[in-house]
Amino acid sequence: MFNNQGEWTTLSRGNGKAFDLLSVDLSHMFDTTMGNSRMIVTFQGTRSDSSSVTRLIDVPRHFGFRTYSFTGLNDLVSVRWDQSAFGSVPHQFDDILLLTGPSNASFDGSSDLDSLAIDFGTLTQGGPAPTVSFDIWNYTSPGSADLDLDGIVGTGDTSVLTTNLHAFSGLAPSSHNSFLAVMDTSTEGSFGASYTLTFSDASSDPQASMVLELTGLVVPEPSTFVLLGMGAVGLLAHAWRRRRRR
């Protein structure tokens, strides 16, 4: 695509919603210079609050596309550009990269799920430590922001109910990362732990937190119950013999 001298190219979304302009590929129009070889492309954006922002891209004397990134061209409802500044030559443009929406953290890839409860059930003390896998998705469509996991805060029995959760950045839309939850069976008892996860992205929209709940019950192994039962029977027999002697 190209832009002639003195003409503006305007970009906006069909639904009228805001977007961020992240980068664009630019090149001189021809493989030879025309007049002033310097090419200054002026980008003028209108934000959703009706304020305006301008950025100038100084493209060196070169034929062939190069990528130019922007800062501050965010929350735009439209942006237009031309190369009329300083008598610039015509230019080509391609690969316009937009950010059209925020990320959306979810425990599910087909719905927006902000809380997940994993119950390990009833386990035998000293048995193998069970594991359950779970996913964190960026539940959005292409063009939305990448997802970052910034914070993990655990409360409760976090030494018994653990997870290999860790911070990450740049989870692309419609992608997921997989993790494990683990329960230690070395100690008898009823246990519960809660993990609160906080997220962010490159958009200005606030991100909701998510909560992972882990529960489980550890009981003595069956042989322990047998020994306890045998001990109780022995005590009863001893008491019965003492009563007969009387």
User: Could you say which of 66, 99, 132 is where a domain stops?
Assistant: 99
Residue 146 sits in the same domain as residue 61: no
Report which DSSP code applies to 86: G
Residue 29 sits in the same domain as residue 119: no
Mean pLDDT, the chain, integer: 84
Confidence of residue 212 (pLDDT cuts 50, 70, 90): very high
CATH number at residue 119: 2.60.40.10
Residue 155 scores a pLDDT above 70? yes
Q: What is the mean pLDDT of residues 112-127?
A: 97
Residue 120 sits in the same domain as residue 59: no
Query: From residue 95, how far is each of 35, 47, 117 by CA, in Å?
Result: 27, 22, 42
Residue 83 sits in the same domain as residue 118: no
Residue 59 scores a pLDDT above 90? no
Residue 85 sits in the same domain as residue 165: no
Confidence of residue 57 (pLDDT cuts 50, 70, 90): confident
Confidence of residue 234 (pLDDT cuts 50, 70, 90): low
Residue 244 backbone dihedrals phi, psi, to 5 degrees: -70, -35
Q: How many domains does the chain have?
A: 2
pLDDT tens string 162-203: 999 999 999 989 999 999 999 999 999 999 999 999 999 876
Residue 15 sits in the same domain as residue 62: yes
With respect to residue 89, please indicate whether it lies within any of the assigned structural domains.
yes
Show the domain range for 73: 2-99
